Chain A
Amino acid sequence: MEEQRKRYNRLKCTAQISGMMDKFYEDIRRAPSEGRKVCWCVGASPFEILAAQDVASFHTENQAARISAGQEHMYYIDKAEKEGWPTDTCSYTRINVGSALYIVEGQWREDHERYRVPKPDFIWAGNTCPAMVQWADSLRRIFDVPMFGVDCPFIYDDDDETYMKTVEYTRSQLQDFITFIEENTGRPYNWDALNNIVFGRMRRIAEIRAEIDELCKRKPAIMSAFDQMIAMGPYNQLRNQELVEFYEEMLLEIKDRVKNGIVALPDEKYRLMWRGNFPWYAVGKMSRWMAPQDICLATSGYGFGGVGPHARGLFPPDGFGTDDDPLTFIAWNVTTRGYTRTLDFKMREEVHEYVDGYEIDGAILHSPRSCRPWSMQEYDMAKLIEKRYGIPVAVIEADHTDPRYYNEASVDLKLQALIEIIKERKG
């Protein structure tokens, strides 16, 4: 019975996140009454650009994940499906579109105030996943507001020339986005504010992130991937000073843990990595299943900041030879992530970092039914990981925010089998 009570030792600072996010959404809700414009952001989004012009903006995926973590997803999914969105549409989309439909119909539930967002003045789409522009286009039609999309090419040729051309292409589109924002906010763009955010706050966060990353590689793990994934919420959208302060505090707490020998799981026996987005509705269940068995979910590319060359946010490891153009950094960050990269890139730059850097015993690849960018190629990736690194892999088929596709018995069975193989091998 003693074993059953084991829990992950959560970072204390993560307890603030829920409050931070509530405050963030409260601020968005206040925006229209304060005369600030509202932008709904779909896909890879340049929050720096919007924050610098004081546009209240949020990530539609985050709103969906937040609703799902609050177990209220079906209310919105049902609405979208009733209106004709087939069940195979991305579940983030179905939740977000469901909420958009309730908003235009003036049918918002009073007890769902914490999920409410104001009508957008305009829409952003970062088309790393080709469905993003379609999703944003639906919002454009629902609200009858302007939309701006950035087309992000898939980088098939992994050479420097293609790569820099891609960044430049995205950059030129971002330049047009600045004009679009000027038109829609009715004032000249605030470049000083953008420089401050990118080269002040975001650079500092990149440094913090680099330090945290190194410390997280320790055995036993200082913090679990469950904490990392929760810490992603603010990183994905906030661009204020509070964000920097939060990560400063996180770094201090982690350093303190190192000093005092505090770890995520004192009896850590097995270290796992997670790839893919999370089934948000099942995160608690999963952590409660792992901890009593001394299984530490040590790393995940879906945590704050990203993985591989993108682990430092906007700042690529090798730089660009120029460090004064914020749009180039943002273009690089928006356009060159795993969504638009080959399997070879993902194996080389992402998987290798987890498996090698974190000394992983086994891998969980989440294959979300309604999210193709994460689920595609996972069977082949699993085979490559097993072959190259000799560690077992479990591909679990579920969904990020549609719990109807989460078969608990089947997931448990696959994870249990993974652990048995690891036990067998490690002795």
Chain B
Amino acid sequence: MKTLSLFDKMNSQPYYERLEEWKKETGKKIIGCWGLYVPEEMIHALDILPVILFNGREPITLGAQHWQSYMCGPVRGVTDLACKGKLDFLDGMVIHDCCHEIRGSVDIIKLNAHNIKYIKPIWFPKILKQKQTKQRLLEELKKLKGSLEDFWGKEITVDALHRSIEIYNENSDLMAELYEMRRRHPGIMKAGQMQHIILAGMQMPKEEHNQLLKDLLSEIRTDSFSEDERVKIILSGSLCGEMPEEILDIIEDVGGCVVDDDLYVGSRYFLTRVSDGNDPLEALADRYIDMVPPCPTTQDPSNDLGQYLVNMVEKSRAGGIINIITKFCEAHCHIYPWVRYACRDAGIPELLIETEHEVTSFDPIKTRIQAFVELIKGE
């Protein structure tokens, strides 16, 4: 498939290098989005490219001067790239403080990455279903809007915001279609390739990504896929970071296949569409408050992650769940036991893998995943 190999190719280059080249070619501006829920549409409406920032795939050196080794890879890694000057191509950064480490990174990046001229942290309520939540969230969104407008001397009009929301919603719909296809025919692509597609979408204009997705969807001929005999697995987690592709390959090497996911670089990114009403800011606030995948960084007893994953397993007829905790992600640590209880109660096999930026060997992980897949096969 032509388009699929295009995504693979994009993924082979460090993202900051690719974006720097893109910027030179197009002369356009780029804002880095750091933290789980930056409302990208608002940046897009200014005709600036919002890109999701990740830790690089290189050793963390300068970042280690600012963070203890027991802070998560994404926080240490993004700080590292910023301090090394590898994010100097950014025209600005918007940081959503979804956890305490990301909060802390605001000052550290401000102090040590002088070439990024605009750094705007935003706080969103963590308790989602309180009387005050929406009002407060709207105030925060208005503050961000005002700050962006002031810095770039340009108004974010209601029309422009509506248009951006529409483009992002179209992206959600196309991704959902692709995921539905994978649920029916997990063999349409490797899990690593699905990650390439989403990563690309997080770091290129959505209009172009939408076109590529349309091309890809028309290229995929599902009639050539017969019933998949592999063990169907669901992945959940890996917050703020991409999955090490080696792990995705291991799952497939030992006879499993990823049939659906609740990964950050996965369905978590696109599942919540914005219900575009009259007031786009209100719509963006509602998107956060009524997010579809329950988030470990927020609290909402009416939306339980364990139950959500059990439902996902049932919908895709998966054999088990592998929970991926980005090592040292405290938010995920607090919610994980409840996912484990939910799986146990529903009789769903579950495995926990913690991923680190620095991996010395994938062998122990392979052994565990292999045993897990065998266990499901045996049932």
**Chain A interface residues toward B at CB < 8 A:** 83-86, 88-90, 93, 127, 129-131, 133-135, 137-138, 140-141, 149, 151, 153-154, 156, 169, 172-173, 176, 342-344, 367, 369-370, 372-373, 375-380, 397
Contacts and interface: CB of A to CB of B under 8 A. Distances in A.
B126 A156 contact: no
Contacts, number: 122
A344 B70 CA distance: 24
Residue among B67, B103, B106, B301 with max Cβ neighbours from chain A (10 Å): B103
Nearest to A131: B330
12 contacts: A88-B329, A88-B333, A89-B334, A134-B335, A137-B299, A149-B130, A154-B121, A176-B131, A342-B106, A370-B330, A375-B71, A380-B107
A379 B66 contact: yes
Interface in B119-156: 121, 123, 125-127, 130-133, 136
Given A84-B336, A156-B106, A343-B111, A130 B123 contact: no
Interface in B340-370: 340-341, 352, 354
A342 B334 contact: no
Interface string B37-74: 00000000000000000000000000001111011000
Nearest to A405: B70
Contacts of B338: 138, 141
B107 A377 contact: yes
B337 interface: yes
B334 A134 contact: yes
A179 to B, nearest CB: 10
Is chain B's interface secondary structure helix, strand, loop, or mixed overall?
Answer: mixed
A86 B327 CA distance: 10
Interface residues of B, number: 48
A130 B131 contact: no
Residue among B65, B133, B328, B354 with max Cβ neighbours from chain A (10 Å): B328
Contacts of A343: 107-108, 111
Contacts of B328: 88
Interface of B: 65-68, 70-71, 97-101, 103-104, 106-108, 111-112, 121, 123, 125-127, 130-133, 136, 296-297, 299, 301, 325, 327-331, 333-338, 340-341, 352, 354
Nearest to A162: B143
Nearest to A141: B338
A375 B331 contact: no
A156 B66 CA distance: 20
B333 A376 contact: no
B336 A86 contact: yes
Contacts of A135: 334
A133 B330 contact: no
Given A84-B341, A86-B354, A169-B132, A131 B334 contact: yes
B132 A375 contact: no
A342 B97 CA distance: 12
B330 A372 contact: yes
Given A151-B125, A343-B107, A380-B66, A373 B100 contact: yes
B32 to A, nearest CB: 17
Nearest to B120: A156
Contacts of B98: 130
Nearest to A157: B143
A89 B331 CA distance: 8
Contacts of B336: 84-86
Contact of A372 (B100, B334, B341): B100
Given A84-B341, A134-B334, A169-B136, A344 B107 contact: yes
Contacts of A375: 68, 70-71
Nearest to A399: B70
Given A138-B337, A367-B68, A379-B67, A88 B123 contact: no
Given A133-B127, A369-B70, A376-B71, 19 more contacts: A83-B337, A86-B325, A90-B330, A131-B330, A133-B299, A135-B334, A138-B334, A140-B301, A154-B97, A156-B123, A169-B136, A173-B130, A343-B107, A369-B68, A372-B330, A375-B68, A376-B104, A377-B108, A379-B65
A209 B333 CA distance: 38
B39 to A, nearest CB: 17
Contacts of B131: 176
B136 A134 contact: no
Nearest to B128: A151
Given A88-B333, A156-B123, A129 B68 contact: no
A303 to B, nearest CB: 23
Contacts of B327: 88
Residue among B104, B301, B336, B340 with max Cβ neighbours from chain A (10 Å): B104
A342 B297 CA distance: 20
A151 B126 contact: yes
Given A86-B325, A149-B299, A379-B67, A131 B331 contact: yes
Contact of A85 (B100, B126, B299, B337): B337
A344 B106 CA distance: 11
B106 A130 contact: no
Contacts of A138: 334, 337-338
A376 B301 contact: no
Given A154-B123, A156-B106, A131 B340 contact: no
Contacts of B330: 88-90, 131, 370, 372
A133 B99 CA distance: 12
Residue among A84, A342, A397 with max Cβ neighbours from chain B (10 Å): A84
Given A156-B123, A369-B70, A397-B68, A376 B100 contact: yes
B101 A151 contact: no
B238 to A, nearest CB: 15
A152 to B, nearest CB: 9
B126 A133 contact: yes
A225 to B, nearest CB: 23
Contacts of B136: 151, 153, 169
B96 to A, nearest CB: 11
B123 A153 contact: yes
Contacts of B352: 86
Contacts of B104: 372, 376-377
Contacts of A373: 100
Residue among B66, B70, B100 with max Cβ neighbours from chain A (10 Å): B100
A232 to B, nearest CB: 22
A86 B333 contact: yes
B191 to A, nearest CB: 24
Return the 3 tightest CB-CB contacts between A and B, nearest first: A376-B104, A134-B334, A84-B337
A153 B327 CA distance: 26
A169 B71 CA distance: 31
A342 B110 CA distance: 11
B113 to A, nearest CB: 12
B73 to A, nearest CB: 13
A84 B333 CA distance: 9
